[in-house]
C-alpha cells in the first residue's frame, strides 16, 4: 500500500461530542462537574492538537447545545471523515478508562479495533494508569455507523477516584494528547513537539495559473509563526546553505550546485547557538537537544548535479 500524501489529501477526523444543551450527561455535584462540558473540553483540545498536524477536524458541536445522536451521525457522514471518535465520560462509580470498537459493519471493525487498541495503549502509557480494556456493545448507536470506521471512548469516571483530574488542565491535556497520538499513529503521522504547528500554504507554479499545496513545520513565538527555513525553501525549490564563517544563511537555486558541494554546509539547528539566532533563522528557539526536527534529512534536499 502506498503511503497517502497528507499534503494533497489531508486526513479528516470527526469528533462526536457526547450530550449538551438540556442533556448534561453524567454529573458530579460535589465537584461541580458535568459530562457534556468535559466531553467538549477534551474534543476542543483534540481539535487544536490535530489541526496543528494539518488534520481537518469537525466537531459535532463547538458550544453547549443540543446534539442528538441521529444528527451527529448525519453530520459525520456528510463530513466523510477517515475516522470518527465519539467522546463520553464514564459514570457509575467505577474506575479506569474504556474504549468501545465496532463489530459491524465488518469492513470497519478491523480498523475500529486497531484504533481502540492504540487508544487503550496510549492512555495507559501517557497517563500511567491501568485501563478497563477494549469493549464492544451492539446497543451503542454510534457504533452502528454505516459509512465510517469509528470508536467510542469513555473518559475516566466522573464519580470515580480520578474525577479530580477533570479540574486539572494538565491532566485534561494529557488525556486529549493520548487520544490524538493514537489517531496520528494509526495513520502513520508523526506527533510533533508541543509548540510546532503544520502551516499549510500554496505556492504558485511558474505557469502562474496553477498552484501546489505545501506544508511546513512552524513554531509560534510571541505572536508570530516562524517557519523551518530548510523545509520552506525546499518547497520553493531552493537549497539552504549556512555559511560557517559569516553565520549567514544563503538560498541557492538548486540547479547551480551539486549535492556533494552542499552536504557539509547544509543548515543544521545546532549551528545556531543562541535562541535569538535561531528565532531570526526561523528555527525553534528551544535547546537543540529537545527539538525533534530531523537533522539527518539533508539527503532530501534536492540539489541536482
Ligand atoms: Zn455519555
H helices present in 52-199, as ranges: 69-79, 106-127, 169-186
For residue 26, the number of C-alpha atoms closer than 13 Å in the C-beta half-sphere is 19
Tell me how crowded residue 189 is: count the other CB atoms within 10 A of its CB. 19
Q: What are the residues facing 199 on neighbouring strands?
A: 216
Residue 161 Cα to chain centre, angstroms: 29
CA of 88 to the centre of ligand 1 (A): 4
pLDDT, tens digit, for every residue of 21-37? 999 999 999 999 999 99
Among the four given CATH numbers 3.30.70.3270, 3.40.50.720, 3.40.630.40, 1.20.1050.10, the one describing domain 12-186: 3.40.630.40
Q: What value, to the nearest 5°, has the Cα angle with vertex 61 and ends 60 and 65? A: 130
> Is 146 noted as a catalytic residue in this protein?
no
Distance CA(254)–CA(210), nearest Å, equals: 22
pLDDT, tens digit, for every residue of 51-109? 988 899 999 999 999 888 999 999 999 999 999 999 999 999 889 999 999 998 888 99
Predicted confidence at residue 245, as pLDDT, reads: 65
CA of 26 to the centre of ligand 1 (A): 6
CA of 174 to the centre of ligand 1 (A): 20
Which helix H or strand E contains 191, and what residues bound it?
Answer: none
Predicted confidence at residue 291, as pLDDT, reads: 47
Distance CA(119)–CA(99), nearest Å, equals: 7
CA of 101 to the centre of ligand 1 (A): 16
Tell me how crowded residue 86 is: count the other CB atoms within 10 A of its CB. 27
Asked if residue 203 has pLDDT above 90, the reply is: no
Cell numbers for 130: 491501568
Strand 83-89, strand 150-155: pairing: parallel
Catalytic site residue from 34, 72, 98, 154:
154
pTM: 0.75
Distance CA(60)–CA(39), nearest Å, equals: 11
Question: 165: which DSSP letter?
Answer: G
Domain boundaries, the chain: 12-186, 199-300
CA of 184 to the centre of ligand 1 (A): 24
Tell me how crowded residue 247 is: count the other CB atoms within 10 A of its CB. 12
pLDDT, tens digit, for every residue of 53-63? 889 999 999 99
Predicted confidence at residue 121, as pLDDT, reads: 97
Whether 185 contacts 118, CB under 8 Å:
yes
Amino acid at each position: 500500500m502506498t503511503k497517502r500524501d497528507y499534503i494533497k489529501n489531508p486526513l479528516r477526523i470527526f469528533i462526536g461530542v457526547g450530550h449538551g444543551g438540556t442533556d448534561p450527561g453524567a454529573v458530579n455535584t460535589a465537584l461541580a462537574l458535568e459530562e457534556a462540558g468535559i466531553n467538549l473540553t477534551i474534543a476542543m483540545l483534540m481539535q487544536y492538537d490535530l489541526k496543528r498536524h494539518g488534520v481537518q477536524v469537525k466537531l459535532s458541536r463547538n458550544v453547549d447545545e443540543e446534539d442528538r445522536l441521529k444528527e451527529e451521525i448525519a453530520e459525520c457522514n456528510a463530513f466523510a471523515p477517515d475516522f470518527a471518535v465519539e467522546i463520553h465520560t464514564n459514570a457509575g462509580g467505577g474506575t479506569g478508562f474504556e474504549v468501545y470498537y465496532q463489530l459491524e459493519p465488518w469492513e470497519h471493525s478491523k480498523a475500529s479495533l486497531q484504533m481502540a487498541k492504540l487508544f487503550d495503549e496510549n492512555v495507559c502509557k501517557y497517563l500511567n494508569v491501568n485501563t478497563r480494556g477494549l469493549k464492544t456493545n451492539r446497543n451503542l448507536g454510534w457504533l452502528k455507523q454505516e459509512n465510517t470506521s469509528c470508536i467510542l471512548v469513555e473518559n475516566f469516571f466522573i464519580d470515580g477516584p480520578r474525577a479530580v483530574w477533570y479540574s486539572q488542565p494538565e491532566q485534561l491535556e494529557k488525556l486529549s494528547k493520548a487520544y490524538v497520538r493514537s489517531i496520528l499513529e494509526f495513520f502513520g503521522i508523526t506527533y510533533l513537539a508541543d509548540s510546532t504547528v503544520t502551516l499549510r500554504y500554496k505556492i504558485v507554479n511558474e505557469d502562474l495559473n496553477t498552484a501546489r499545496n505545501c506544508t511546513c513545520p512552524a513554531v509560534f513565538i510571541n505572536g508570530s509563526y516562524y517557519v523551518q527555513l530548510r523545509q520552506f525553501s525546499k518547497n520553493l525549490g531552493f537549497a539552504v546553505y549556512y555559511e560557517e564563517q559569516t553565520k549567514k544563511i544563503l538560498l541557492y537555486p538548486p540547479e547551480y550546485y551539486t549535492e556533494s558541494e552542499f552536504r557539509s554546509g547544509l543548515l543544521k539547528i545546532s549551528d545556531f547557538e543562541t535562541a535569538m539566532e535561531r528565532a531570526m533563522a526561523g528555527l525553534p528557539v528551544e535547546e537543540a537537544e529537545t527539538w525533534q526536527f530531523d537533522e539527518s534529512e539533508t539527503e532530501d534536499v534536492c540539489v541536482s548535479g
